[in-house]
Structure 1
Amino acid sequence: MNPPRNPLGIHALVWAGGWSRTECEHAVRSTREAGYDLIEIPALDPAAIDAGHTRAVLADHGVRGVCSLGLDLDADISSPDPDVMRRGDAKLADALAVVAGIGGDYLGGAVYSALAKYDHPLHPRGRENMIAGLKRLARAAADHGVTVGLEPVNRYESNAINTVADALAVIEEVGEPNVVVHLDVYHANIEERDFVAPVVEAGDKLGYVHIGESHRGYLGTGTIDFPAFFGALKSSGYTGPVTFESFSRAVVSPDLSDRLAVWRDLWTDGMDLAKQARQFIAAGLAGD
């Protein structure tokens, strides 16, 4: 019997910079055309997502939908300011409603802090607020059958969770069974000591994987040691989603490009990029 294949996903920003009805239809259709099983929809502005329409389009094309986001400096559950924390709670609740509305089962990313460069370490009270906020999110998510993923991001994008070790410590404190590690190889390239240790360290708490090159462009053209990383995933027995993530200013909106420090066009043809990435990932997971 062949081992189960990891669901292969792609980030919606490969296809479109927003999520209007037209952009939704184009992104989901392109995801299926490129051979992916899953599309990751950014819920940075939950109110801009028509969940009912999205759910119907996903069903029409046989594509699974999940969501991700990062919080904002004025809506951040890791803030010591209770008003900022409450706005962060509200944004997470809105994002969770989108996931449930599209029929999804996963909400991940920097759901624990703003996706921004902080100028100070995480405040102790802010950490307490973050743990409490994640516990609330996880319990609400469990009611909808949704898993919450904590994505360690690099030090320039958060002061709260930068490594798998950081994520595991938070998961232990939160203490809810539906909270997992969302491992992104792009960030691991900056913060981890190699590409095997974080997979081993995450163990059975690894629930979602992002694949991206060191410069966010075509896979295999940067500095990521993909053979080591894919080998570690295979050795670990990981069977969860593996999602390709790449950003180019040619597609991503100017505001979000600025936020993600995407200063140039790393590619212009999303379909060519997506098909190359799918072939690259499938071969890597197969050990070819």
Structure 2
Amino acid sequence: MSKIGVHSFVWSAGSSKDEIERTLARSHELGFKLVEFSYLDPEQVDVKWLASRIRELGLDVAVSMGLPADGDISSDDPSVVANGEAILDRAVALVRDLGGSKLAGILSSAHGKQEHALSRKGWDQSVGTLSKVADRAKAAGVTLNLEIVNRFESNMLNTAAQGLAYIRDTGASNVFLHLDTFHMNIEEADVGLAIRNASDKIGYVHIGESHRGYLGTGNIDFASIFDALVAIGWNDFVTFESFSTTIVDKDLSLKTAIWRNLWQDNVALAKHARTFIELGMETARLKADLVKAAHLPTA
């Protein structure tokens, strides 16, 4: 059975001790099993304290990020690539030190709208660099989960099929896909089929609505998504992600174009999301069982 996680920006975009404690406490109180921290700077956070609190609350943890322009590992500039490699290594170390196993997000290129198409040289540069990071991450017990995002946030991995090709080229056993329903709804021909096709290479899943607000109030066909997750036997984390101008991160909110205030009460939002995902997955399981039942006469 899948476990449900929540993105930390549902609670706060800050990283003070009080903000992080509130994020952990609310997530735990509402029954989430994982907290995903995005763009967490280990130099600004007491990592030992945070790891201890995560253990005390019985939570799992994931870390997500996007490479900056000056850390783009698909760049022609060796110094930019080296910086990106170092950023990824530090992120891997943070995941390890927090007691987690998943680094997710835009790890193969810079996060943001690009003004040029990706070249084959850029692809190969990225693959080669990430392969080296993956080797070190494997020794640390960390998987690299490549987020497949829309064309306005990356010029490299926009579909699950592209991500599968990238993983194949790395040859690494600890590199997986990070699928996000918001992005898939934009780029995939059929989200459910894309999930089924990716199957055993999926490492992490984000559930988010087409407008980033309350689940079920946009245009995403969540029934087919839950059906696909059940069909592939997904039993790992499904993490709720939502953004609003109520909680603003100066970098991510701009890059993801969060211009509208789609919610103010994050407790109500999170409660609704957890129930929505639980019911969606349970309904998909019930349907999967029902279509296998012959219901033959007994007399």
For normalisation by structure 1, the TM-score amounts to 0.96
Map Cα deviations across residues 26-45 of structure 1 (whole Å, 9 max, x no partner): 10111111110000111354
Give the stretch that moved more between structures: 102-111 or 55-64: 55-64
Other-structure match for 1:212: 208
Report the alpha carbon displacement of residue 129 of structure 1 after superposing the two structures with TM.
1.4
1:146 is matched with which residue: 124, 142, 155? 142
What does 1:1-288 align with in structure 2 at a 5 Å threshold? 5-43=1-39, 45-287=41-283
Q: Look up the SS of the partner of 2:72 in the other structure.
A: coil
Q: Displacement, 1:252?
A: 2.2
Calculate the aligned-residue CA RMSD, in Å: 1.2
Contact 1:21 1:53 in 2 (8 A): no
Residues 85 and 204 of structure 1, relative CA distance in 2, 3 Å threshold:
same
1:150-185 superposed Cα distances (whole Å, 9 cap, x missing partner): 111000000010000000000000001111111111
Which blocks of at least 5 consecutive residues in structure 1 are unaligned? Answer: none
Shift of 1:49: 3.3
Query: Structure 2 CA distance, aligned partners of 1:144 and 1:225?
Result: 37
Report the AA paired with residue 234 of structure 1.
Answer: V
Query: Whole-Å Cα distance in 2 between the matches of residues 101 and 158 of structure 1?
Result: 29
**Structure 2 Cα separation of the partners of residues 168 and 262 of structure 1:** 29
Q: Distance in 2 between matches of 1:181 and 1:254?
A: 26
Identity %: 45
Whether the 8 Å CA contact 2:110–2:154 is kept in 1: the answer is yes
TM-score, length-scaled by structure 2: 0.92
Cα distance in 2 for residues equivalent to 1:30 and 1:133: 38
CA–CA distance in structure 2, aligned partners of residues 95 and 50 of structure 1: 15
Question: How far did residue 24 of structure 1 move?
Answer: 1.0
Tell me which amino acid in the other structure corresponds to 2:10: V
Deviation at 1:48? 2.8
**Deviations along 1:68-105, whole A, 9 cap, x unmatched?**
11001111111121111111111111111110110111
* Alpha carbons 1:147, 1:179 under 8 Å: kept: yes
SS at match of 2:114: coil
Q: Write the distance in 2 (CA, Å) between the matches of 1:232 and 1:11.
A: 22
Question: Deviation at 1:114?
Answer: 1.1
Cα separation, 1, equivalents of 2:111 and 2:207: 19
**Displacement after TM superposition at 1:196 (Å):** 1.1
Size of the alignment, in residue pairs?
284
Structure with larger Rg:
2
Name stretches of at least 5 consecutive residues in structure 2 with no aligned partner. Answer: 285-299
